[in-house]
Homo-oligomer: A and B are copies of this chain.
């Protein structure tokens, strides 16, 4: 039996779709193998990068089931259970558990005006309802509140939270979590960053791993960073991160005067995956608007420059 390690590079897997927006299972399987071949330490399905906000429940279930079956225990499978509040999230967790996920990833409540005490209550109730490890997902750009550092550490200490996936972009609060973890001896509490442009630095100061959306396009790059940091070769880690910094500019090619910034980023990731032969179709779920042909040309140039094509 596998013991989930929750350490290293765990990309948030893009969800390939058919033109009718059903899940392209074959492409998803190929994407998972592509990541595993690159040496990732886990996969995170149904995160923001997976278009989880766009997928109906049936597609969500298909994604988890496909991932669990395909990965087959080689690495842990984390499943995003993204919904507005406790009872709705609890239903997603039950599905994830039933499908065999190794851990679930949960945000603060959104749509509603919440409070730190209610966010804490949210995680406690969900922990009481499932045996699965719960990662808190700190993503203010989506849920419009920031997780409180003291609350995270308290819930980590009590065993309510198994980890943190921090996409807040606030490296100072992240560092306080790392320091608090160390002070409290919370070795098993997995602290991951979603800030894909500073993975080298955050690993070097003690982060357990990273969840880089760009890892869909270039997982090997992030695996290299993790590996180089582990070996104490910070200069090489920095150099690889700098290469990925350039590649990451593809997320800004979609014109913000014409389409949403989520569409621009997810469209770039998916088109990059298609160019690399990982998925068949770069279509985005509605109502996201597509990249133009010209934008696609520039994304291709970005991949060429990064040595990926």
Contacts and interface: CB of A to CB of B under 8 A. Distances in A.
Interface of A: 21, 48, 53-57, 59, 82, 84-88, 91, 109-115, 117-119, 121-122, 125, 141-144, 169-172, 175-176, 179, 195, 197-198, 200-201, 204-205, 234, 238, 242, 245-246, 256-263, 285-289
Contacts of A288: 118
A171 B198 contact: yes
Contacts of A172: 169, 195, 197-198
A50 to B, nearest CB: 12
Nearest to A286: B86
Given A198-B172, A205-B201, A114 B286 contact: no
A166 to B, nearest CB: 13
Given A111-B110, A115-B260, A245-B179, A286 B87 contact: yes
B289 A88 contact: no
Nearest to A206: B238
Candidate in A117, A257, A258 with the most chain B CB atoms within 10 angstroms: A117
A285 B175 contact: no
Contacts of A88: 53-56
A105 B289 CA distance: 23
Contact of A110 (B87, B110, B261): B110
Given A53-B111, A205-B238, A21 B198 contact: no
